[in-house]
Amino acid sequence: MAGFDKVVKTYEEAMAGLEDGMTVIAGGFGLCGIPEGLIAQIKTMGTKDLTFVSNNCGVDDFGLGILLQGKQIKKMISSYVGENAEFERQYLAGELEVELTPQGTLAEKMRAGGAGIPAFFTATGYGTPVAEGKETREFDGRPYVLEESITGEFAIVRAWKADRYGNCIYRDTAMNFNPMAATAGKITVVEAEEIVEPGELNPTEIHTPGIYVNRVIQGTFEKRIERLTLSK
């Protein structure tokens, strides 16, 4: 790699340095906007005891769900899980730890983590099991819960277009958690549908500036649909 060129040729290079016990922040909502090839690479590597911060955990044979088969995931920090039978089995057997986090709080934890803010107050979850053991404080007569931000050793992200410098644009609702995930990894890896030369993306339209991104790899995507619904 020279200068700002962050493109790597192989998935091995893309995920180099991932070790047992690390925390990985993953973009995606359901199966939409997930970095499919990077997840497959983690499966190939067999890295264990990983903590994943991701809104969901895929399905049995796709998305993060494929890492459950080899018990590579120790803990999930998510807002909604259990769309897969193996997840349910491991969770009920006590083999998998789950920290359920409200979706907006999860997004803000990533955003704050990437922005150097260690914690924030939110009204979300006050008076519910989510707030148990957490500091609360009133502002203008309303109670709020102190939530700590999240960072990870790695962040894995799917972009639509990325340039060699790591500037990224996302497509439609495949954006979701990806921009926040991109900011919150010590090493952020972007798997892009298309890699372009610097200057080809309009600077005004860039969602994730390259400063957050360490590696960029060209991906190929199945883009599986979780719930196909058609107008009648």
Partner 1 sequence: MGLTREQIAMRVAQELQDGYYVNLGIGIPTLVANYVPEGMEVMLQSENGLLGMGPYPTEDQVDADMINAGKETVTAATGAAIFNSAESFAMIRGGHVDLTVLGAFEVDQNGNIASWMIPGKLVKGMGGAMDLVAGAQNIVVTMTHADKKGNSKLLKQCSLPLTGVNCIKKIVTDLAVMEIRDGRFHLIERAPGVSVEEIKQKTEGDLVVEGDVPEMTFA
Residues that bind partner 1 (CB under 8 A): 29-33, 55, 78-83, 88, 91-92, 100, 102-108, 110-111, 122-130, 170-180, 207, 223-231
Task: Give Cβ neighbours of residue 144 (< 8 Å, ≥ 6 apart).
Answer: 121, 122, 123, 126, 136, 137, 138
CA dist 26 and 50 (Å) reads 12
Residue 30: both structure tokens together: 């359901």
Minimum Å gap between C-beta 232 and partner 1 is: 8
Residue pair 168/130 in contact by the 8 Å Cβ criterion: no
Q: Which is nearer to partner 1, 3 or 204 (CB)?
A: 204
Q: Which is nearer to partner 1, 1 or 100 (CB)?
A: 100
CA dist 51 and 60 (Å) reads 18
Q: Which is nearer to partner 1, 208 or 214 (CB)?
A: 208
Minimum Å gap between C-beta 93 and partner 1 is: 12
The count of other CB atoms within 10 Å of the CB of residue 223 is 13
Q: Residue type for 74, please?
A: K
Q: Which is nearer to partner 1, 2 or 230 (CB)?
A: 230
Minimum Å gap between C-beta 108 and partner 1 is: 6
Q: Which is nearer to partner 1, 79 or 218 (CB)?
A: 79
Minimum Å gap between C-beta 192 and partner 1 is: 14
Minimum Å gap between C-beta 15 and partner 1 is: 24
Residue pair 182/214 in contact by the 8 Å Cβ criterion: no
